[in-house]
């Protein structure tokens, strides 16, 4: 089932998502629709999104959080709703403790910088290996009304990009006695560097996958398994490809 079809077949609620998100979600999640996915969405609002995910993942457990107490009325069957602030670390850990760990976390909450960053810092380490953390509407990093005096989400995400190659950032090649020598240097790096396997940016939405990240190896387990090793390819002066094998 496509995400758009799930919206049309939902029980109730009013949708409020960018239309171009729909095929992007399909490209990640359509293949695992029948698996027992455990999903958390930050925002309940008028309920449509929770009921869409309920239809999209028929064997799932859906959790929603919102600051509006009225949203608790949307609880039913496999949908659980918690009332609290997405920037409250204690609250987020409580939710994870009761209905987590999650395969998918989707932040469509208040879109303020501190909210987005705090939610990620708290929930991503608790995400299942191989799972996805999705931030919707990260374009608010460019809209002044969402600034709150601290770091912008886009700058935080750029730091995560650097962390994907943390092992390269910690090594420098120098020439010593006419030979290239690699030395290790101390550099500050993200706490997430070794547990983020990939980051995928789109217009107003970003997918961050949890997985083992080491030099030459990326590995995910769980709902979205994937394992890769770097293949070292050498090209001779005659432009012939010389396959060296796995690094």
3-state SS, the chain, equals: CCHHHHHHHCCCCCCCCCCCHHHHHHHHHHHHCCCCCEEEEECCCCCHHHHHHHHHCCCCEEEEEECCHHHHHHCECCEEEEECCCCCHHHHHHHHHHHCCCCEEEECCCCCHHHHHHHHHHHHHHCCCCCEEEEECHHHHHCHHHCCCCCCHHHHHHHHHHHHCHHHHCEEEEEECCEEEEEECCCCCCCCCCCEEEEEEECCEEEEEECEEECCEEEECCCCCEEEECEEEEECCCCCEEEEEEC
Q: Is 139 part of the annotated catalytic residue set? A: no
Q: Which position among 20, 111, 139, 200 bears the catalytic label?
A: 111
> What pLDDT, in 10s, does the model give residues 184-205?
665 556 689 899 999 999 999 9
Tell me what the pLDDT averaged over the chain comes to: 87
**pTM higher than 0.85:** no
pLDDT digits (tens, 9 = 90+) for 46-89: 888 999 999 999 999 999 999 999 999 999 989 999 999 999 99
């Amino acid at each position: 089932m496509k995400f758009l079809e799930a919206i049309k077949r939902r029980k109730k609620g009013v949708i409020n998502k960018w239309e171009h998100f729909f095929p992007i979600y399909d490209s990640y999640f359509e293949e695992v629709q029948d698996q027992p996915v455990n999903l958390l969405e930050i925002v309940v609002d008028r309920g449509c999104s929770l009921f869409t995910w309920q239809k999209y993942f028929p064997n799932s457990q859906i959790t929603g959080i919102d600051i509006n107490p009225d949203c608790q009325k949307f609880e039913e069957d496999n949908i659980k709703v918690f009332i609290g602030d997405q920037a409250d670390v204690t609250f987020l850990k409580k939710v994870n403790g009761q209905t987590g760990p999650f395969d998918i976390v989707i932040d469509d909450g208040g879109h303020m910088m501190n909210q987005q960053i705090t939610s990620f810092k708290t929930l991503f380490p608790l995400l299942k290996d191989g799972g996805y953390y999705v931030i919707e509407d990260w374009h608010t990093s460019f809209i002044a009304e969402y600034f709150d005096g601290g770091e912008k989400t886009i700058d935080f995400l750029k730091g995560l990009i650097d962390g994907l190659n943390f092992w390269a950032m910690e090594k420098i090649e120098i020439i010593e006695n006419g030979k290239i020598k690699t030395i290790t240097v101390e550099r500050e790096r993200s706490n997430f560097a070794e547990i983020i396997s990939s980051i995928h940016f789109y217009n107003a939405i970003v997918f961050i996958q949890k997985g083992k990240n080491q030099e030459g190896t990326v590995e995910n387990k769980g709902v979205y398994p994937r394992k890769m090793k770097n293949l070292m390819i050498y090209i001779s002066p005659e432009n012939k490809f010389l396959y060296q094998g796995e690094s």
